[in-house]
Amino acid sequence: MRITFVLPYADLSGGVRVVAIHARKLQEKGHHVEVISFPRKRPPLKARVKHFLKHLRPYPFLSQGPTHLESMEVPWTIMERPGPLKDEDLPEADVLVLTWWETVEWTRGLSLSRGVPCHFVQAYEIFGGPKEKVDEVLSLPTFKITVSKWLEELLEKRFSPPGLALVPNSVDLERFRVPPRGKQELPTAGVMYSTTPNKGCDLAFAAFEEARRRDPRLRLVSFGHPESPREPPLPEGATYFSEPAQEEIPGIYASCDVWIFPGRNEGFGLPILEAMACRTPVVATPAGAAPEILQDGRGVLVPQDDPKAMAEGILRVTSMEEEAWKELSGKAREFTESYTWDDASRLFERALEEALSLASSSH
């Protein structure tokens, strides 16, 4: 197959990592794969002024910064500007994989010579655009691929796509590999830092403070993209790693006894699998794929937006006896080994073939 992926922009986000891995895996299978992305939209003047007044430094705008695509050795083109595309902007293809609601809009006028459109839904993207516009795009009769059961159910019940495939994400088992270990000398929790409200860092920090009131030895480790987190502020005494190198991240996960996943609106939640691959048990809200990943005692699920319940979950893991913790740690790693990116790639390839078959039968 000739396959073109269209990204809104290419960065170090989990969603871009997933696209980059699928593109590389499909290329390794002998398919002709290309990736198209766009420069980031420059923030409006009002947003840049507000940022400067709050942080006393210019808005850190880069039209193209570091991205997971750089290491994948897949043909990649950055368009000059975001917005609607014409046939001449894209190569001929069999399938056009659209990875964000706006990329669906930008390609609606293209001929089928640029590929049968297939919408890769990694989240319910109302956090990135007007709900009515996102819903309008999801209502279009395009074949859809998604990454978690809750998104599959949402798409089936509300948007009735002509075809729908579930392709859960995996994790790079070689990159996120650490030796078996015991608990830390001081109980340690970790969380990925984000200023985006749907990521729930405020919930994680409130839960940590509640847990620390009951166990003053508890430490917090965090990493993320902001140089110096301000909103929400890190708890006092927390250790923060700003934009760590990719090879340093497994060590951060492995320095913790428990990893907190506090999401409110998540498509999947790659940090859950990354932490588990690094043998770190997870306490999570039922966001993204957390319910199916952590079922059968593979981790701890807590109610949404309940810091006291999350604190209980944190302490439940950190207070485990050494052997019980090691058993949970091993179970976490074992689960990640049961479904690989090769498995995910086979499902993705099958979904693209299904989209092509459906399109040919309807013409």
- The domains located in the chain, with CATH, are 2-170+340-361 (3.40.50.2000), 188-336 (3.40.50.2000)
3-state SS, residue 55: helix
Region at 296 (left for phi over 0; alpha for psi -120 to 50; beta for the rest): left
What is the C-alpha separation between 47 and 59, in angstroms, rounded?
A: 9
Amino acid 61: pLDDT: 44
CA distances from 103 to 99, 119, 197, 315 (A): 7, 9, 24, 43
Model pLDDT for residues 95-115, shown as the tens digit of each residue: 999 999 999 999 998 999 999
Query: Is the pLDDT at 54 greater than 90, yes or no?
Result: no
For the beta sheet containing 300-301, the strands, ordered from the edge strand earlier in sequence to the opposite edge, are 239-242, 219-224, 188-192, 258-261, 282-284, 300-301
Amino acid 46: pLDDT: 62
Amino acid 58: pLDDT: 54
Amino acid 229: pLDDT: 80
Amino acid 52: pLDDT: 56
> In the Cβ-directed half-sphere of 193, how many Cα atoms lie within 13 Å?
25
Residue 16 in tokens:
């871009």
Helix (H) or strand (E) holding 224: strand 219-224
Model pLDDT for residues 293-336, shown as the tens digit of each residue: 999 999 999 999 999 999 999 999 999 999 999 999 999 999 99
Amino acid 42: pLDDT: 58
At which residue do the structure tokens 């796509």 appear?
161
**DSSP notation for 301-347:** E--TT-HHHHHHHHHHHHTS-HHHHHHHHHHHHHHHTTS-HHHHHHH
Query: What pTM was estimated for this model as a whole?
Result: 0.90
